[in-house]
Chains A and B, each alone.
Chain A
Amino acid sequence: MFLLDIVILLAAFFIIGLIRNPKLRTALITVASVLFVFYLQPLVPIRNFDYWFPFLTLSFTLLTWAFCARDPDLPIQANRDELALILFPMLIVALSRHTPFNTLFTASRPPALWLSLPAIAFLFILLTGSVQLLKKNLTVLYSVLITLLISLLVIIKMPCLALKASEFLRSISGQQIDSALASDIRWLGYSYIAFRLLSVVIDRKKGRKLFVSPGQFVSYVCFPPALAAGPIDRLDRFAKSLAGNFLASIPYDDAFQRLAIGAFKKFILADGLAFIALSQQNHAQFQSSCWTWSALIAYSLQIYFDFSGYTDIAIGLGLLVGIRLPENFNHPYLKPDIARFWNNWHMTLTQWIRSYVFNPLTRKLRSNKQRPLPQWLIVLLAQFVTMGLIGAWHGVTFNFLIWGAWHAFGLFIHQLYNDRMKDRLLALQQRPQIYQLYLLLSWLLTFLFVALGWVWFVLAEPGDAMAFYRMLLMGRIP
């Protein structure tokens, strides 16, 4: 999101927050969610896909609602008004093609009406038809939805598949495929949207029932402040706010304080640090070990201020309409061990992965009483699978997988150390001064471990990362 986008969102949410009637405010949040999905989508080099990606986001969201979050005892007509609140703005965006404001909602002119209108009509027919499907066994359908959402995520995150997808989409759009790039597939917020949708489908598949209206569901999945960079809220938590339980009064002081802190972190600190921080462009230019370390520390701080700044802005914007989004960072760099770092870094993503991957996997491995696995092996497997997935979520490339494995190894060693040393550490706590020194050294070690891990995160080529490590340790090699 650019500064202008944030200012426009701020103005829109400030006005919506002034509405005191909860139903009207909820309705306006729904409309804003639909329109901002289109508005925030950046320009895509594939023709009309800055319209089609948001269209697909809303289609997947509505279909997931129809199959998983809809009360099956209520006919779809019971939600007619709210569905109109979603489909009508989609129609407005499509029709804006033939107005002087044809790039007001989308980065480029929306597609021809003979394409966009049948697509909206088809979505409506699918939603209506879903009632019949709901009467049948849906387990297969849930599995299909899960597979589809994950497959799209893999295509977007894996450069070779993204390139193939771009070539395919260019060919059906009548464009040259020679100029296709993996970066063409810029689907705004899909990583976050997919995880929100997946959590609902997986919960429903396991038998958890949570019924919300289509407006609440679209607002949950596409809430504009959290669209581009999270946090990933839970549906039950978010729905409570929207079901008329808004914060009693808008906490303007809190909201503007978070917005100011977020803007300062993002646009002053992070963007300032970017001048000296390690990057894909400058990694080979450092001449001394001192500058190399400075670049690494600067990057470690830059990524924190950038990401946590966005979260502050998202939380501040949410507060303006009376919705408190979950925190995503809790001073992660001040934590004395790697486990606590991960409990406080991108908290909503790690909590999601814990709920749907780590906990079920560990539970399964621990529950095998017939042939129990040794504890160290369970920890090793669970950490590598979990952190491998967190790495892959950032991109299915070798460097992100190594970054995930780096942290899995750290967490594995920490777990073994903690289990073996817990009695000694408990005894050490009785000697406060020595324990404080221990915590200080432990913090330093954790920060260094995390900072060194960022090298894999930034540099796409493992060879470049190894060369950078050599520079850190030995200075420039002639």
Chain B
Amino acid sequence: MLDIEEVLIDKIKNDVLDQPGRKLSSSDSLIRSGLIDSFHLVDLALMIEEVFHVKLEDWELNADYFDTIEDLAVLIKTRSN
């Protein structure tokens, strides 16, 4: 699970947010805090599909389904299995 979280942190900082210098932890709120806006949320879904081969549906891209990197890692782990 930690591997998934590390990859997610790296990809979100570098590819989605394009802010390599930003501090980001697994428990930080991504959506409710406004850190990832609705436009970059789609980029996040595309990145997860490409890297982890896990599909995030359009209706799942909101804080009811995940809000932190920990939530995302659990979602990815569950679907990979």
Contacts and interface: CB of A to CB of B under 8 A. Distances in A.
Interface string A195-234: 0000100010000100000000000000000000000001
A81 B22 CA distance: 58
Interface in A404-435: 415, 418-419, 422-423, 426
Given A351-B62, A354-B38, A360-B58, A366 B22 contact: no
B17 interface: yes
Interface string B19-56: 10110000000000010011101110110000000000
A194 B9 CA distance: 39
A366 B46 contact: yes
14 contacts: A203-B59, A237-B64, A339-B34, A354-B61, A355-B61, A356-B58, A356-B59, A359-B61, A363-B45, A366-B46, A418-B37, A422-B17, A423-B19, A423-B21
Nearest to B43: A366
Interface of A: 199, 203, 208, 234, 237, 337, 339-340, 343, 351, 354-356, 358-360, 362-363, 366-367, 378-379, 382, 415, 418-419, 422-423, 426
- CB-CB nearest 5 A-B residue pairs: A359-B58, A355-B59, A362-B42, A355-B58, A340-B34
A382 B42 CA distance: 12
B58 A343 contact: no
Contacts of A423: 19, 21
User: Which of A354, A378, A418 has the largest number of chain B CB atoms within 10 A?
Assistant: A354
Interface of A is mostly: helix
A234 B59 contact: yes
A351 B64 CA distance: 11
Contacts of B46: 363, 366-367
Nearest to A360: B58
A422 B37 contact: no
Interface of B is mostly: loop
B61 A339 contact: no
A360 B37 CA distance: 15
Nearest to B59: A355
Nearest to B45: A363
B20 to A, nearest CB: 10
B58 A366 contact: no
A232 B69 CA distance: 28
A362 B37 CA distance: 13
B19 A426 contact: yes
A270 B53 CA distance: 50
Contacts of A237: 64
A67 B75 CA distance: 30
A326 to B, nearest CB: 8
Contacts of B41: 359
Contacts of B43: 366
